[in-house]
Amino acid sequence: MSLPAVVPAPVSIETGSGAPFRLTSATTVTGETDAAAALSAIVGARTALALADGDGDGDGIELRIDTGTGGPESYRIVADEASVSVTGADAAGLFYGVQTLSQIIARDEQGWTVPAVTIDDSPRFAYRGVMLDVARHFHPVETVKGYIDRAASLKLNALHLHLTDDQGWRIHLDSRPELTEKASATSVGGDLGGFYTKADFREIVEYAASRHMIVVPEIDMPGHTHAVGLAYPELAEDPTLSDHMREIIRDYGGEEPRAGSPYDGMAVGFSSLKIHDEATYDFVADVFGELAAMTPGPYLHFGGDESLSTTDEDFAVFVARASAIIADLGKTPVAWHEAGAAADVADTTVGQYWGFLTPQEGAAEKATAFIDNGAQLILSPADAIYLDMKYPSGPELGLTWANGPTSVERAYSWEPSDVVPGVDDAGILGVEAPLWTETIRTSADIDTMAFPRAAAAAEAAWSPATGASELRTWASFRERVGALGPLWTSMGIGFHPSDEIPWATE
């Protein structure tokens, strides 16, 4: 019998020889209530069966936490004809065990089953993320919650929110209320904007926590700050226009950026905060101070990408100050890899590598600087797991600059320890798949771009290294991910039915 399909691939999975466990209207669940609720919701959506509360007499499904059974986030599933037990080493591990259990539910002639199986599983990397750009197009709280559910089902544990960019500022801050009053109304292409109130943000953070995810808020600086100038003109330089930007404007349409007017085009690199003005650092301190108080997770991201109209010297000055402000707040700064060029970036700063699978133009050197400081990298190789890249065939959404279009096979077929030369697992905090939203307007757009490619990123983040498991091949992944089609449909995920994948219909 072939192995039950689990994505991301588990550390170990062995099928038993016995009959499967039968899920019926009499099946009971006992144990941890949060995990039982999560399981009941998925089983209900998938099978229309309602699990009853059990009496703990050993038949049915048992969900428990047993600290000491493994490392953080690990779990074990043992299923046979008589019972199913899921044991997490902690609450997150149990939650992930429930996700795996929901994936292996199958149907035979007599009804729903859980195959006889033993699974032992734990993550390769501690940080496993998705990023959603809510600046280029604003996405409401309900959409973000849906994305949290989807990502958590793939055992991802970090939601990075790209909260600000040239096109809009999306988080209300009491210390700087004009940001949302004056700079949040529009999105790319003349679409409506929006912003999160502090209550909205809290709701997102709490919802994420209930799915064992942290929220990593990003305020992109010192470039990508045209919106700041709408609210606080004294902090922003006038837009600069390079030939490159004129080219983008010609290719994608839209107006040239003008100081004091909202920008709704797709160009990057024309804006900068004033670097040699103390008022800028008062602003940075206010923004990150308030954000630190709102964010229980350890990370605050200050951007640092594509500051194309800031000189290298000024960029280095800014990065040193911004990262120090965040570190002094007791948080771990995160920045895109360009910030590694700044000699005085705070030592604890985590770098987010967004270069190609084969690093180009000094990207590897900049990324390696974070390791030399004693910190780590998050890997987001753009030509593999930028979820905003077009598919080879399918929806007309997305961009192509990162060696696109990007097939599911390319999103899958890479090994984290082979990306930045000299950086192995010890230097890698984790893997994150960003979704930039210049062309992405709705939750349906998000689903089609992210699925199935986010599952490929999740496997790079969670599963054993390529070569360390026979499941870590494209041939295995495409079969396993194809088997998830019916589950994803029952979860309401509008995945792209890529012709690279043999999708199961039931």
**Nearer to ligand TNX by C-beta: 73 or 305?**
305
For residue 383, state whether it binds ligand TNX (rule: CB under 6 A).
no
Shortest distance, CB of residue 134 to ligand TNX, whole angstroms?
A: 12
**Nearer to ligand TNX by C-beta: 97 or 355?**
355
CA distance 52 to 35: 14
Shortest distance, CB of residue 405 to ligand TNX, whole angstroms?
A: 13
- The neighbour count for residue 110, using CB atoms within 10 Å, is 9
Can 290 be counted among the known catalytic residues? no
**Nearer to ligand TNX by C-beta: 436 or 451?**
436
For residue 399, state whether it binds ligand TNX (rule: CB under 6 A).
yes
Measured in whole angstroms, how far is the alpha carbon of residue 476 from the centre of its chain? 23
Q: Contacting ligand TNX (CB under 6 A), which of 32, 73, 90, 305?
A: 305
* Structural contact between residues 429 and 125, judged by C-beta atoms closer than 8 angstroms: yes
CA distance 113 to 309: 59
Shortest distance, CB of residue 392 to ligand TNX, whole angstroms?
A: 17
**Nearer to ligand TNX by C-beta: 388 or 500?**
388
Residue type, 310: T
Shortest distance, CB of residue 271 to ligand TNX, whole angstroms?
A: 11
* Structural contact between residues 490 and 148, judged by C-beta atoms closer than 8 angstroms: no
Concatenated DSSP letters of 221-289: ESSS-HHHHHH-GGGBPPP---HHHHHHHHHH--PPP-TTS---S---S---B-TT-HHHHHHHHHHHH
* Structural contact between residues 300 and 326, judged by C-beta atoms closer than 8 angstroms: yes
Number of residues that bind ligand TNX (CB under 6 A): 10
For residue 121, state whether it binds ligand TNX (rule: CB under 6 A).
no
Residue 234's Cβ-count burial label (10 Å; 0-12, 13-18, 19+) is exposed
Residue 294's Cβ-count burial label (10 Å; 0-12, 13-18, 19+) is middle
Q: Take residue 435 and report the two structure tokens written for it.
A: 């979704």
Q: Restricting to residues 333-362, name those near ligand TNX by CB under 6 A.
A: 336, 354
Q: Take residue 11 and report the two structure tokens written for it.
A: 């550390």
Residue type, 193: G
Q: Contacting ligand TNX (CB under 6 A), which of 34, 256, 286, 306?
A: 306
Backbone angles phi, psi at 277, to 5 degrees: -130, 120
**Nearer to ligand TNX by C-beta: 62 or 438?**
438
For residue 386, state whether it binds ligand TNX (rule: CB under 6 A).
yes
Shortest distance, CB of residue 429 to ligand TNX, whole angstroms?
A: 17
For residue 263, state whether it binds ligand TNX (rule: CB under 6 A).
no
CA distance 169 to 171: 6
Concatenated DSSP letters of 467-493: TS-TT-SHHHHHHHHHHTHHHHHHTT-
For residue 268, state whether it binds ligand TNX (rule: CB under 6 A).
yes
For residue 315, state whether it binds ligand TNX (rule: CB under 6 A).
no
User: Is the peptide bond preceding residue 262 cis, with omega within 30 degrees of 0?
Assistant: no
Shortest distance, CB of residue 325 to ligand TNX, whole angstroms?
A: 21
**Nearer to ligand TNX by C-beta: 149 or 305?**
305
Q: Restricting to residues 416-475, name those near ligand TNX by CB under 6 A.
A: 436, 438
Residue type, 241: L
CA distance 506 to 504: 6
Shortest distance, CB of residue 79 to ligand TNX, whole angstroms?
A: 42
**Nearer to ligand TNX by C-beta: 433 or 487?**
433
**Nearer to ligand TNX by C-beta: 397 or 501?**
397
Strands 106-108 and 299-303: unpaired
Site of tokens 């307007």: 441
Nearest to 281 by CA among 313, 324, 227, 233: 324
For residue 388, state whether it binds ligand TNX (rule: CB under 6 A).
yes
Q: Restricting to residues 25-54, name those near ligand TNX by CB under 6 A.
A: none
**Nearer to ligand TNX by C-beta: 31 or 355?**
355
Q: Restricting to residues 148-177, name those near ligand TNX by CB under 6 A.
A: none
* Structural contact between residues 432 and 371, judged by C-beta atoms closer than 8 angstroms: no
CA distance 286 to 229: 16
Rg, the chain, Cα only: 23
Shortest distance, CB of residue 7 to ligand TNX, whole angstroms?
A: 25
**Nearer to ligand TNX by C-beta: 388 or 432?**
388
Shortest distance, CB of residue 348 to ligand TNX, whole angstroms?
A: 20
Q: Take residue 133 and report the two structure tokens written for it.
A: 């750009």
Residues 6+ apart with CB under 8 A from 276: 314, 317
Shortest distance, CB of residue 335 to ligand TNX, whole angstroms?
A: 10
Of the residues 181, 203, 306, 479, only one is catalytic, namely 306
Tell me which residues touch ligand TNX (CB under 6 A): 268, 305-306, 336, 354, 386, 388, 399, 436, 438
- What is the set of active-site residues? 306
